[in-house]
Amino acid sequence: MRVLIAYASAHGSTEEIAARVGMVLRQNGLDADVVPAEEAPELEGYDAFVIGSAIHNSSWLTPAERFVTRKAPSFAGRPVWLFSVATVGASSSGLGAFGTWMARKAGRLPKDLPALIARTGAQGHRTFAGVIRRDDWGRVGDLFVRLMGGRYGDHRDWHDIEHWATTIATALTARSAAARVQG
Ligand SMILES: Cc1cc2nc3c(=O)[nH]c(=O)nc-3n(C[C@H](O)[C@H](O)[C@H](O)COP(=O)(O)O)c2cc1C
């Protein structure tokens, strides 16, 4: 089974998560190509897709959004998983307890997740915390980070990322086995 992992990353933390997902899929016997969304090849040769983006201003980056919109017809009948990389993830966070609670209560990111799911028919979406850099946030952002008890640095939970990737590998291996039995 061949899987395309397409990502959009402004400063590299999403790219590294995409690479780790690819590594886990390969360790589980799948073929995996990891490419920036804007450089994605034709999709015909792929059996499944993992698409991820950094979150900026509550949305996916343009290359990932564009990839999903342009390729929407190609996803039909092939499994897709989505991931987002933000300040607050499902299992770790760059903010303190109150900020994390507030961010999770404010709603799911990206804000157009329902449209992304509709276009891809995605089986699932997971949000990971990324790397929070002081330089990225400016003065007002810095104040926000402080008020929310945030800490600059790398907040990625590699255990959660690898676990998520393993669940994808398991689902695809089962799918492949079922197809062999039917065929
Ligand atoms: C300009 C800018 C806007 C951001 N906007 C958000 C946001 O709206 N919500 C959020 O949770 N994180 C936001 N972040 C944090 C990023 O999602 C986080 O730093 C992520 O790790 C970036 O991934 P990358 O290193 O692949 O670019 C923003 C970061 C930058 C630089």
**According to DSSP H, which parts of the chain are helical?**
13-27, 62-71, 97-106, 113-120, 134-147, 158-182
**Average pLDDT in the 137-145 region?**
86
- Burial-class residue 42 by CB neighbours within 10 Å (0-12, 13-18, 19+): exposed
The pLDDT of residue 183 is above 70:
no
Report the pLDDT value the prediction gives residue 78, as an integer from 0 to 100.
Answer: 96
Q: Is the CB of 79 under 6 A from ligand 1?
A: no
Statement: residue 153 has pLDDT above 90 = yes
Q: What are the tens digits of pLDDT across the range 57-73? A: 999 999 999 999 999 99
Among residues 69, 54, 58, the alpha carbon closest in space to that of 119 is found at 69
Distance 182 CA to ligand 1 centre (A): 44
Per-residue model confidence (pLDDT) at position 176? 83
Going by CA atoms, what residue is nearest to atom 4 of ligand 1? 56
C-alpha to C-alpha distance for 52 and 130, rounded to whole angstroms: 12
What distance in angstroms lies between residue 122's CA and the mean position of ligand 1's atoms? 23
The phi and psi torsions of 81 (rounded to 5 degrees) equal -125, 145
Would the pLDDT of 141 be above 80?
A: yes
pLDDT above 90 covers a percentage of the chain that reads 81
pLDDT tops 90 at residue 140: no
Is the pLDDT at 163 greater than 90? The verdict is yes
Q: Is 57 in the pocket of ligand 1 (CB under 6 A)?
A: yes
Ligand 1: does its nearest atom lie under 6 Å from the Cβ of 24?
Answer: no
Domains of the chain, earliest start first? 2-182 (3.40.50.360)
pLDDT at residue 138 above 80? Answer: yes
